[in-house]
Amino acid sequence: MDWSNFIYFPVLKTKDAELRAISSVDKVSREKILPIYEITKSRITKKNSLGDIVKRLDQIRGIQNGLPFILDVATDPKQTNSQIESILSPDDGYRFWREWLEAHDDLSIVPVIHINLEDDEDLDEAQSFVRAVAHKYPKMALRLPTGLEEEEYSEILDPIVSVLGESKLYVLIDDGCIRDIVKKSSIGAVAQSYQSTFEIIAEMDDSENWLEKVVCISGSFPQQVKNEGVGDEYGDFDIFEHGLYLQLKKNRPDLQFGDYASININQTEMRGGTFVPRIDFCTDSKFFYYRKRRESGSYIWCAKKVIADSDFVDNGTWGDDEINSAAIGSPSGISPSFWISVRACNYMTRRVKILSA
């Protein structure tokens, strides 16, 4: 497999909206995407009272269809269950994580190495995990924030690298949502933080032999779009991930890029009667939205506004097809989750196009 083909690394929770979105991206674009799946509990039903995470892996199996993916687990308490808590336990070299990976060894998984400095201060358990599994995986991944001192990065990476063997490491630099930070300082300040971290990691001893790629990950989609777009029925706001990319792209191909696929990082559950129907679309650098207070035909109204907007370009994606279908009076879905999928599908397709240029 030519791992250099992968140019985009979206972080996707294994919830219905994200899985529907990535499964709807066209095959050519999908072959350039190495998704980072964060396992969440599945939808709780009478027959699935715990939200069994195996169901989520079965969905990923069908979506990836043999393509590799990075596998992590969600740490948000709202998205976890007892299975996920066991996976995150460092006991016995992350035994539950090892067993879970072994049970799915038919999949092309790039496993994330979990770091728990509270319960595994010396990283003995993390090192034990890597030593036990590295020979099975050509690539592994480690997720770190920006802003640590050089010594702190070394204290984390050195024990991991020492037992990697022939496996190579994706280092995912992830600062989560950058919207508030950018608004308080500047995109340049955020870029400098990522740049400094990239330089520290890339210049570590023998990195050419153990480092696969450094991946810059960030998100900026707001929780309330009308607060950013300053309009109830219509508005727009900047995609700060794109600004960060423009600041850092001089480092390519050594630095790769990922984001949260236009999904707000701190997701909230929509309850009946609490949402305003909305359709979003994007250019390279901006998101646009149309909203209509709930009444019959709200999504149809939004879709008509979108396709009439001079900033909207139909790229022939599944998401664009759904907008066009709604505009002629036949929306396939009338839930926020469905239209999040439309937005995320279009966004990911556009990011692949930008990163392919």
Hey, what amino acid is at 69?
F
Residues β-bridged to residue 36: 11, 70
Quote the CA–CA distance of 109 and 112 in Å, as a whole number.
9
Task: Name the residue type at position 102.
Answer: E
The pLDDT tens digits for 251-261 are: 877 899 999 99
CB–CB of 264/221 below 8 Å? yes
The CATH number of 3-270 is 3.20.20
Closest CA to 36 of 154, 139, 162: 139
> Residue 11 phi/psi, 5° resolution?
-90, 125
Kindly tell me if the per-residue pLDDT of 268 is higher than 90. no
Binned at pLDDT 50, 70 and 90, residue 115 comes out as very high
pTM (2 d.p.): 0.94
Q: What is the rounded CA–CA span in Å between residue 356 and residue 354?
A: 5
The phi, psi pair for 287, rounded to 5°, reads -105, 145
Q: Which residues are within 8 A (CB) of 333 and not within 5 positions of it... i.e. 6 or more apart?
A: 322, 339, 341
Mean pLDDT of the chain: 92
Flag whether pLDDT at 111 surpasses 90. Answer: yes
Q: Tens digits of per-residue pLDDT, 291-309?
A: 998 778 999 999 999 999 9
327's CB contacts (< 8 A; 6+ apart) are 300, 303, 304, 306, 307
Percent of the chain clearing pLDDT 90 (strictly above): 81
Alpha helices in the chain (DSSP H): 16-23, 27-30, 54-64, 82-87, 91-102, 124-133, 150-161, 179-184, 187-202, 207-210, 225-229, 240-248, 298-308, 318-327, 336-356
- The predicted model gives 337-356 an average pLDDT of 98
> For position 53, what pLDDT does the model report?
76
Prior bond to 145 cis, omega within 30? no
Cα–Cα distances (Å) from 328 to 292, 299, 305, 337, in that order, read 17, 11, 12, 21
Q: What is the 8-class DSSP label of residue 163? A: T
pLDDT computed for residue 219 by the predictor:
97
- Assess whether pLDDT exceeds 80 at residue 48: no
The pLDDT score that the predictor gives to residue 196 is: 96
Residues 245-252, mean pLDDT to the nearest whole number = 90
Q: Which two three-digit tokens encode residue 33? A: 């995407």
For the chain, give every domain's residue range: 3-270
Q: CA 160 from chain center: how many Å? A: 24
pLDDT tens figures, 66-90: 999 999 988 766 666 777 788 889 9
Q: Read off the tokens for 40.
A: 């969440």
Measure the CA–CA gap between 262 and 122, rounded to whole angstroms. 36
